[in-house]
Amino acid sequence: MQGGRQDALGVTHPRVVQFERFMCGGLPRLERVAIVRHLLTGCPRCVRVTRALWSLAAEPTERESIMTDVEAFARIQLKEIERELQRIRYRMLGVQSTLPPAPADREPADVHSLDDLSQLHAVIRCVLMDSIEPAIEDLRGLSALSGER
């Protein structure tokens, strides 16, 4: 370990500044590995130093608060998007209900050979079933995960 201090037993301990840089991710890989190995020995001297640094590092609950606020904002936005998708779904169902029924004797698998009315029905059905409804369900799932429902 570069720059460390040896004790009476010849054990090299990282300096406080090295621990600080370690916690901020500012050390080269080899120095990080050496510090981790040393900490894994349970060195009481270094545990005291790191305990003080860990508590200082734990202080910025403001960052956690910001992340919580960001997450809350994202969830609110996603809930609103779910509502918008639900409105779009109802609008599409409304458009579909105003159309005359599609000829039942046609195979909807080949959209290119269908007449315009059948194509409209097929596209609306496809958008609803393959895109809008799964998106709504996924967004509802997020709400259920966060306990909002």
Tell me the pLDDT tens digit for each residue of 90-107.
999 999 999 988 766 455
Helix (H) or strand (E) holding 116: helix 116-127
Instruction: Give the pLDDT confidence score for residue 16 in this predicted structure.
Output: 84
Instruction: For the chain, give the number of residues.
Output: 149
CA dist., res. 36 & res. 16, Å (int): 14
Residues 4/12, Cβ–Cβ less than 8 Å: yes
Instruction: Give the pLDDT confidence score for residue 126 in this predicted structure.
Output: 94
Instruction: Give the pLDDT confidence score for residue 22 in this predicted structure.
Output: 83
Q: Which residue has the higher pLDDT, 40 or 145?
A: 40
pLDDT tens, 47-81?
A: 888 887 776 555 555 656 666 777 888 888 899 99
